[in-house]
Amino acid sequence: MRILVTGAAGMLGLDLSAAAAEAGHDVRALPRAELDIADPQAVEAAVASVNPDVIVNCAAWTDVDGAEAAYEDALLVNGAGAGSVARAAAGCGAWVVHVSSDYVFDGLKTSPYLESDLVGPVSAYGRSKLAGEEAVAAAAPQTHTIVRSSWLFGAGGPCFPKTIMRLAAEREVLRVVDDQLGCPTFTGHLAGALLSLGEHRVPGVVHVAGGGQCSWFQFARTIVEAAEIDCSVEPCTTADFPRPAPRPAYSVLRTERGTEVPLLPDWQDGLAAFMSALVGTS
């Protein structure tokens, strides 16, 4: 299977490209420096040149707070750019797998979000990701998988565990938000699921995230313990650390699609795999 990966220099793109190559697929990995999905002509030309069977769109504007002040820029990538990728895929008969986010929900539920739940983003970033879902569905109505995931972390780029380990090594005490709940998702695990969804051409919206749930505080405390860093991690509230973009208070994702959607290992297993990957790259 010939697979085109956009956003291939990001932590998910790197893990996906590696997993696809290891599985024996013909992989064309295009980082933003080689393909800016905000340029529809460039997207069309790249897709026509590669002629893939599956496109996995990992390219995204990921600056959640920055999107509040630069929504049009975020929308150009996460919305129109996603649509351009899907349109080009449909034009050459390829299946498109698009990576979306838990931020399309408002976070007001107290039980896991399912694919059928109503969306209602509370941030500019979330609105841009929802626009991408809508653009993909419109451009490739019969040939797309939209994968909502959450709290991504991986060895190949900046992420929450790396930040926590750096700060814990510099400080005696860390205060971390304890009133936001989600599903930390290791990109090394998500990559395999994205490949499976593309191979089997699973249609529509699916939720794929790390098993279990925790708060950012619980995640941070486990990271510091795993790294064996002498630092006290203490809980605080979202109000203690206001940010430009509001975050969903609850964004646990689960699937109602049954066995056609891969289930990922628990987030603790993802963290263990992440730590092992860090050792392997150091």
- The CA distance from 26 to 28, in Å, is 7
Cα dihedral 227, 232, 233, 239 sign:
negative
- Residues 180, 270, 144, 260: is their CA dihedral positive or negative? negative
Residue among 103, 113, 125, 250 flagged as catalytic: 125
Q: How far apart are CA 161 and CA 175, in angstroms?
A: 14
Radius of gyration of the chain measured on its C-alpha atoms: 18
Q: Environment class of residue 268 by beta-carbon count within 10 Å: exposed (0-12), middle (13-18) or buried (19+)? A: middle
On whether the CB atoms of residues 22 and 191 are closer than 8 A, the answer is: no
Taking CA 88 as the corner, what is the angle to CA 120 and CA 4, rounded to the nearest 5 degrees?
A: 90
**CA 119/CA 83 separation, integer angstroms:** 19
Rounded-to-10 torsion of CA 126, 130, 136, 142: 130
Residue of 53, 45, 63 lying closest to 5 (CA atoms): 53
Q: Does 113 participate in catalysis according to the annotation? A: no
How many angstroms separate the CA atoms of 171 and 232, rounded?
9
Active site residues: 125
